[in-house]
Amino acid sequence: MSILKIPTAKVFEPLLKPARYKGAFGGRGSGKSHFFGELLVEMCQAERGTLAVCIREAQRTLAQSSKRLVESKIASLGIGAGFKLYSDRIGTPGDGVVIFRGMRDHTADSIKSLEGFKVAWIDEAQSLSAHSLALLRPTIRAPGSELWASWNPRRKSDAVDDFLRVRKPPGAIVVNASWRDNPWFPAVLEEERRTDLSLYPARYQHIWEGDYVQAFEGAYFAEMLSQARSSGRIGKIAADPLLPLRAFIDIGGAGATADAFTIWVVQWAGSQIKVLDYYESVGQVLAYHVNWLRSRGYQNAILYLPHDGMAMNNITGKRYEDHLRDAGFTVEPPVKNQGRGAAMMRIEALRRLGPQIWWNEATTEAGRDAIGFYHERKDEVRNVGLGPEHDWSSHAADALGLMAICYEAPGRAGSFNRVIRYRDHGWV
Ligand SMILES: Nc1ncnc2c1ncn2[C@@H]1O[C@H](COP(=O)(O)OP(=O)(O)O)[C@@H](O)[C@H]1O
Ligand SMILES: [Mg+2]
């Protein structure tokens, strides 16, 4: 075994020990990618025949992979001899190999080709879907194999954050790095950092300090949420047992590539709008969502579906609306399709209602994160807005926007908030 002495930034030292799971998270320029790139080369050098895979969630071309970085590490560490560079992979000493893969291109079957791999390194792991993580973990199963992740945190509920920071498997080694920890932090990046700090303070904390995304330029609801916070409307909000519960739904579709299915549970209490609960999941069947509603005691909630609630479920050939009625729920007739501009109408309606909304803190965090992120897509060249960006955050925003539209629809809110008369007890 040859000995290789590589200077390592102090913050990454804990990651030099063997562990099943290793993670490094933090802002830009903290040396995360370089560290794991070096560790990978070091491992291939130390252990002959190492099979390693560098993973991204989406990788359309090799240029989007870690290949260049790994190659530059091989060159700069001066250990080129046992390594061979090919167009799509790197041969390592003793017939090992480093390959580069996008998780999105893998199926449950094709992923099996990675069994026997000793190391899987996921860079930009904030983009890794829960589905990809679930596929990958049992696949990397060689004795002593390791899974590494490096990422800039986006939301607490992202798969990698949830797994390595919130739940944290026993024995996992996870470090938080910042540009301050990087002894090689280059001058150009320092200049970039200062520029962002002075010109884009809203995004600075996320990009450079590794905080979860709070607000984004062009975020539609950032102001609404910060006002809710400062006026004490985010806290412990209890349901009123006398008022109906309403569940506003955005339908994601089924399958691994489907969008998120989201539900907001809300009560209209006079002029107060109580946002009590939030649910989101990707790639699950309808029964799974229904189960969530039941398990949280929402079996009597009135369900509201968007226009596509009328659409057929392509697996069963039935409308979602009918499925949910079959499951015993009361379903409001889907809101008419508002056509072009519907998304903007929902945004405006929700903003108008902003000051009336009270949020239950503990159960709505992931949903508030999402709608706080929901923002305008920009044509950077012409510097014009192109309407709401369709991404992980838009389904939460659509579902709550539906609530706002229904609340404002003339006559509806009033008639649904009537006092409930119980036969045995007279008026309550
Ligand atoms: N081990 C290292 N050796 C040499 N330069 C490094 C090393 N680690 C980081 N750097 C420098 O710091 C910059 C940022 O590191 P990088 O790994 O890209 O950060 P991150 O992945 O955290 O954004 C790199 O472009 C490089 O110039
Ligand atoms: Mg990086």
CATH of the domain at 17: 3.40.50.300
Query: Residue 274: is its pLDDT beyond 50?
Result: yes
Tell me, yes or no, whether 204 lies in a domain. Answer: no
Domain closes at, from 184, 208, 230: 184
What ligand is nearest to the CA atom of residue 25? 1
Cβ(34) to ligand 1 under 6 A?
yes
Distance from the alpha carbon of residue 67 to the mean position of ligand 2, in angstroms: 13
Cβ(212) to ligand 1 under 6 A?
no
Q: Are 169 and 57 in contact (CB under 8 A)?
A: no
Tell me, yes or no, whether 192 lies in a domain. Answer: no
Tell me, yes or no, whether 167 lies in a domain. Answer: yes
Q: Are 14 and 175 in contact (CB under 8 A)?
A: yes
Domain tally for the chain?
2
Cβ(10) to ligand 1 under 6 A?
no
Quote the tokens at residue 417. 């908030």
Task: Give the ranges where 27-95 is alpha helix by DSSP (H).
Answer: 32-46, 67-76
How sure is the predictor about 217, in pLDDT bands with cuts at 50, 70 and 90?
low
Query: Residue 203: is its pLDDT beyond 90?
Result: no
What ligand is nearest to the CA atom of residue 183? 1
Angle between helices 67-76 and 32-46 in degrees, nearest 10: 60
Looking at the structure, do residues 38 and 172 belong to the same domain, yes or no? yes
pLDDT tens for 289-346 read 999 999 999 999 999 998 765 566 666 667 888 889 999 999 998 777 777 788 899 9
Looking at the structure, do residues 107 and 228 belong to the same domain, yes or no? no
Q: Look at residue 105 and give its three-state secondary structure.
A: helix
Q: Are 298 and 245 in contact (CB under 8 A)?
A: yes
Handedness of CA 166, 151, 215, 303 (dihedral sign): negative
Which residue out of 182, 185, 206, 209 has the highest number of ligand 1 atoms within 8 Å of its CB and is therefore the one to mutate?
Answer: 182
Which residue out of 30, 34, 179 has the highest number of ligand 1 atoms within 8 Å of its CB and is therefore the one to mutate?
Answer: 34
The confidence score (pLDDT) of residue 385 equals 80
The pTM assigned to this predicted structure is 0.66
Distance from the alpha carbon of residue 74 to the mean position of ligand 1, in angstroms: 15
Quote the tokens at residue 425. 């007890």
Tell me, yes or no, whether 428 lies in a domain. Answer: no
Looking at the structure, do residues 39 and 167 belong to the same domain, yes or no? yes
| CB-based burial, 113-131: b 16+ in 10 Å, e otherwise | ebeebbbbbbbbbbbbbbb
Looking at the structure, do residues 287 and 166 belong to the same domain, yes or no? no
Cβ(182) to ligand 1 under 6 A?
yes
Distance from the alpha carbon of residue 270 to the mean position of ligand 2, in angstroms: 50
Distance from the alpha carbon of residue 31 to the mean position of ligand 2, in angstroms: 7
Q: How far apart are CA 256 and CA 283, in angstroms?
A: 5
Query: What percent of the chain is helix, strand and coil (3-state, nearest 5)?
Result: 40, 20, 40
Looking at the structure, do residues 261 and 410 belong to the same domain, yes or no? yes
CA-24 nearest atom, ligand 1:
22
Cβ(37) to ligand 1 under 6 A?
no
Nearest CA residue ID for atom 6, ligand 1 = 184
User: Which residues, 6+ apart, have CB-to-CB distance to 288 below 8 Å?
Assistant: 281
Looking at the structure, do residues 355 and 405 belong to the same domain, yes or no? yes
Which of 44-53, 115-124, 209-218, 327-336 is predicted least confidently? Answer: 209-218
Cβ(32) to ligand 1 under 6 A?
yes
pLDDT tens for 233-266 read 999 999 999 999 999 999 875 544 567 899 999 9
Looking at the structure, do residues 333 and 381 belong to the same domain, yes or no? yes
Quote the tokens at residue 182. 């990087």
User: Which residues, 6+ apart, have CB-to-CB distance to 293 below 8 Å?
Assistant: 247, 263, 279, 299, 301, 329
Cβ(186) to ligand 1 under 6 A?
yes
Looking at the structure, do residues 258 and 373 belong to the same domain, yes or no? yes
Amino acid at 145: S
Looking at the structure, do residues 54 and 134 belong to the same domain, yes or no? yes
Tell me, yes or no, whether 427 lies in a domain. Answer: no
CA-26 nearest atom, ligand 1:
22
Nearest CA residue ID for atom 15, ligand 1 = 31
Looking at the structure, do residues 90 and 148 belong to the same domain, yes or no? yes
Q: If you ran DSSP here, which 8-state letter would residue 180 be given?
A: G
Cβ(30) to ligand 1 under 6 A?
yes
Tell me, yes or no, whether 202 lies in a domain. Answer: no
Q: If you ran DSSP here, which 8-state letter would residue 245 be given?
A: P
Rg (CA), the chain: 25
Distance from the alpha carbon of residue 150 to the mean position of ligand 2, in angstroms: 7
Q: How far apart are CA 150 and CA 321, in angstroms?
A: 42
First to last CA, the chain: 81
Q: Are 122 and 110 in contact (CB under 8 A)?
A: no
CB atoms under 10 Å from CB of 184, counted, come to: 10
Distance from the alpha carbon of residue 152 to the mean position of ligand 2, in angstroms: 8
Quote the tokens at residue 199. 């010109």
Tell me, yes or no, whether 282 lies in a domain. Answer: yes
Q: Look at residue 292 and give its three-state secondary structure.
A: helix
Q: How far apart are CA 42 and CA 193, in angstroms?
A: 30
CATH of the domain at 255: 3.30.420.280
How sure is the predictor about 379, in pLDDT bands with cuts at 50, 70 and 90?
confident
Angle between helices 201-209 and 187-199 in degrees, nearest 10: 140
pLDDT tens for 38-70 read 999 999 999 999 999 999 999 999 999 999 999
The confidence score (pLDDT) of residue 1 equals 46
Tell me, yes or no, whether 5 lies in a domain. Answer: no
The confidence score (pLDDT) of residue 380 equals 67
Looking at the structure, do residues 130 and 258 belong to the same domain, yes or no? no
Distance from the alpha carbon of residue 30 to the mean position of ligand 1, in angstroms: 6
Beta bridge partners of 249: 263
Question: Across the beta sheet with 272-282, what order do the strands follow?
Answer: 234-235, 357-360, 272-282, 260-269, 246-250, 302-304, 330-331
Domain closes at, from 137, 167, 184: 184
Cβ(185) to ligand 1 under 6 A?
yes
Cβ(235) to ligand 1 under 6 A?
no
Distance from the alpha carbon of residue 60 to the mean position of ligand 1, in angstroms: 24
Quote the tokens at residue 115. 């069994």
Nearest CA residue ID for atom 27, ligand 1 = 186
Angle between helices 394-408 and 342-353 in degrees, nearest 10: 70
Amino acid at 357: I
Q: Look at residue 142 and give its three-state secondary structure.
A: coil
Domain that holds residue 95: 10-184
Q: Are 331 and 305 in contact (CB under 8 A)?
A: yes
Domain closes at, from 184, 203, 237: 184
Nearest CA residue ID for atom 14, ligand 1 = 29
Query: Residue 229: is its pLDDT beyond 60?
Result: yes
Amino acid at 275: V
Centroid of chain to Cα 170: 23
Looking at the structure, do residues 175 and 245 belong to the same domain, yes or no? no
